[in-house]
């Protein structure tokens, strides 16, 4: 738990006929971390073409699922996967459903466009409903330029004054709110002047329909009936979509899952180096899982694979880091890895960080009510959203810590409701500050110890002795802190205190030349 898992380097030599079954086995076991520095000409392999074809197939199938409203499912590796034969089977599924879905989409688009057109016409005619003039007469003037629209009521007199130089007609038809429906007309030669004046008066034009006839009110009633029938047609198409989803769901999900598995396999296999008919797969696996990996590869290749296992101590400098923490502590690994992974020979501080995080959080935000709310939110997230379980565990643990310290403080939502089992923060500020200082001293010295252990494990003697976090730094820290307290209490003389402080200070001051001298 406190150190990364020992890693062994694995080199697999796989024949061409076994590469797919071995790759599937490796993916299922999840024990091999592939080398990432291998350079391969991916464009020269047939797997690249298959990966691109399957990627396109995945996109098309996903589009069908979204169109039919079929929820996606997690990726599942099937035993029947055959990367070369699956492509044709997947295309059969695509072609079988594509025509049906395309025709349904065309009918839906036509119905939606018709509904949108009817809605636009209804909005236009709703304003013209008070007019008792047939629409074809309003739109059929040849000598006069006629325009209909709405404008603010207070601008009606202003525009009539502005148009006194040209022949015009402004007919207010109907008022609604602070706007008025008007018809404006003039001769065609004076059209630009009328349009400019209307624009300055905040006039909003209502287009006159060219393909309708009859009184606006009568036409409006007919259009609303047509729109109701269009809505019913769209509802019928929605019912048809649900029937198509029920009919094609299983086949589409199987094809989509198989295509995703195959694109993953093809994309993985095109990255493997190849010499003739032999593939080379290199990577790392935990030392205690080597035999499981070897057995799995031998079973997948019928014993034809050649497997080379290199002892972890030999390749220690190149080995990647695999953290191994209990499930409760894994949620806190993100705080450690945010600053970088511990080196292969370094200690893993995740468990210590988890304990310190929960202690500090509880001390700062200890409250029974707030802790319960936070824990309840974490529990809800854990059971309702499986993909957010790490966040849920973090909220649960933080809420439990806040609840525990809330019991020690006796507070709920900032109110004292219980007798304090430890202290009340607002009444005991000095005790809280002393606890924080002591906690800081403890955590700082834990950091010193971790650094000393890490440098000792990797045999970095100069950092072990001369670094500011090494023995010289620890010596100076305690000489200043402990010696200063002893000096203040009269338990140590000034000369004795200086004898404690000067040597580590000198070592740290000259640490660079001393390092160079030690390393020759």
**Quick one: pLDDT at residue 372?**
94
User: Could you write out the three-class secondary structure of 431-460?
Assistant: HHHHHHHHHHHHHHHHHHHHHHHHHHHCCC
pLDDT in tens, 190-220: 888 888 888 888 888 776 666 667 777 787 8
Candidate ranges 69-78, 96-105, 121-130, 360-369; pick with highest mean pLDDT: 360-369
Total-model pTM: 0.56
pLDDT in tens, 327-339: 888 888 888 888 8
Distance in angstroms (rounded) separating the CA atoms of residues 293 and 285: 8
Q: Are 70 and 242 in contact (CB under 8 A)?
A: no
**Model confidence at 359: pLDDT above 80:** yes
Burial (CB count within 10 angstroms: exposed 0-12, middle 13-18, buried 19+), residue 7 = buried
Q: Binning pLDDT at 50, 70 and 90, where does residue 505 land? A: confident
What string of DSSP letters covers 265-299? HHHHHTTS-EETTEEEEEEEEEGGGHHHHHHHHHH
Q: Binning pLDDT at 50, 70 and 90, where does residue 84 land? A: low
- Mean pLDDT value of segment 10-35: 87
Q: Binning pLDDT at 50, 70 and 90, where does residue 142 land? A: low
Distance in angstroms (rounded) separating the CA atoms of residues 89 and 251: 11
Q: How far apart are the first and last CA of the chain?
A: 37
CA distances from 473 to 68, 107, 452, 460 (A): 67, 78, 11, 15
Pick the more confident residue, 520 or 278: 278
R_g of the chain, CA atoms, integer Å = 39
Distance in angstroms (rounded) separating the CA atoms of residues 519 and 513: 10
**Quick one: pLDDT at residue 208?**
64
Q: Binning pLDDT at 50, 70 and 90, where does residue 141 land? A: low
What string of DSSP letters covers 320-348? PP-----HHHHTTHHHHHTT-PPPTTS--
Q: Binning pLDDT at 50, 70 and 90, where does residue 184 land? A: confident
**Quick one: pLDDT at residue 494?**
84
Distance in angstroms (rounded) separating the CA atoms of residues 459 and 453: 10
**If we measure between CA atoms, which residue out of 261, 214, 56, 220 comes closest to residue 127?**
220
Mean pLDDT (the chain) is 82
Distance in angstroms (rounded) separating the CA atoms of residues 94 and 256: 10
């Amino acid at each position: 738990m406190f150190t990364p898992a020992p890693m062994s380097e694995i080199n697999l030599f796989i024949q061409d006929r076994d590469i797919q079954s071995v790759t599937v086995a490796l993916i299922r076991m999840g024990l091999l971390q592939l080398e990432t520095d291998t350079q391969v000409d991916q464009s020269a392999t047939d797997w690249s073409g298959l990966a691109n074809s399957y990627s396109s197939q995945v996109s098309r199938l996903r589009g069908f699922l979204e169109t039919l409203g079929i929820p996606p499912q997690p990726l599942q590796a099937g035993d029947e996967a055959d990367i070369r034969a699956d492509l044709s089977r997947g295309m059969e599924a695509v072609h079988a459903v594509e025509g049906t879905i395309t025709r349904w989409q065309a009918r839906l688009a036509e119905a939606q466009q018709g509904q949108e057109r009817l809605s636009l016409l209804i909005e236009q005619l709703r304003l013209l409903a008070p007019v008792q003039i047939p629409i074809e007469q309003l739109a059929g003037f040849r000598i006069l330029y006629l325009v209909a629209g709405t404008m603010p009521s207070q601008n009606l007199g202003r525009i009539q004054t502005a148009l006194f130089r040209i022949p015009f007609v402004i007919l207010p038809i109907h008022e609604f709110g602070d706007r008025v429906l008007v018809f404006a007309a003039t001769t065609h030669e004076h059209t630009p002047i009328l349009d400019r004046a209307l624009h300055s008066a905040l006039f909003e034009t209502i287009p006159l329909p060219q393909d309708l006839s009859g009184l606006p009110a009568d036409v409006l009633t007919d259009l609303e009936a047509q729109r109701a029938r269009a809505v019913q047609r769209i509802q019928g198409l929605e019912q048809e979509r649900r029937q198509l989803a029920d009919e094609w769901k299983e086949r589409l999900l199987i094809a989509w899952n198989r295509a995703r598995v195959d694109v993953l396999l093809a994309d993985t296999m095109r990255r493997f180096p190849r010499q003739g008919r032999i593939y080379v797969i290199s990577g790392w696996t935990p030392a205690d899982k080597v035999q499981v990996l070897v057995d799995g590869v031998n079973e997948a290749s019928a014993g034809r694979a050649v497997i080379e296992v290199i002892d972890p101590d030999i390749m220690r400098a190149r080995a990647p880091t695999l953290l191994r923490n209990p499930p409760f502590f894994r949620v806190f690994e993100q705080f450690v890895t945010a600053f970088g992974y511990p080196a292969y020979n370094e200690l893993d501080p995740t468990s210590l960080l988890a304990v310190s995080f929960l202690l500090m959080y509880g001390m700062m935000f200890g409250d029974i009510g707030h802790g319960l709310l936070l824990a309840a939110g974490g529990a809800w997230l854990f059971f309702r959203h499986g993909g957010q379980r790490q966040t849920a565990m973090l909220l649960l643990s933080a809420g439990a810590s806040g609840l525990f310290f809330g019991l020690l403080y006796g507070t709920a939502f900032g109110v004292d409701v219980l007798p304090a089992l430890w202290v009340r923060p607002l009444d005991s500020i000095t005790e809280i500050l002393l606890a924080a200082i002591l906690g800081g001293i403890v955590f700082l010295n834990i950091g010193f110890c971790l650094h000393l252990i890490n440098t000792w494990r990797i045999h970095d003697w100069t950092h072990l002795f001369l670094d500011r976090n090494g023995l010289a730094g620890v010596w100076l820290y305690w000489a200043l802190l402990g010696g200063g307290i002893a000096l203040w209490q009269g338990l140590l003389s000034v000369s004795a205190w200086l004898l404690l402080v000067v040597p580590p200070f000198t070592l740290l001051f000259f640490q660079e030349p001393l390092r160079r001298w030690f390393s020759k």
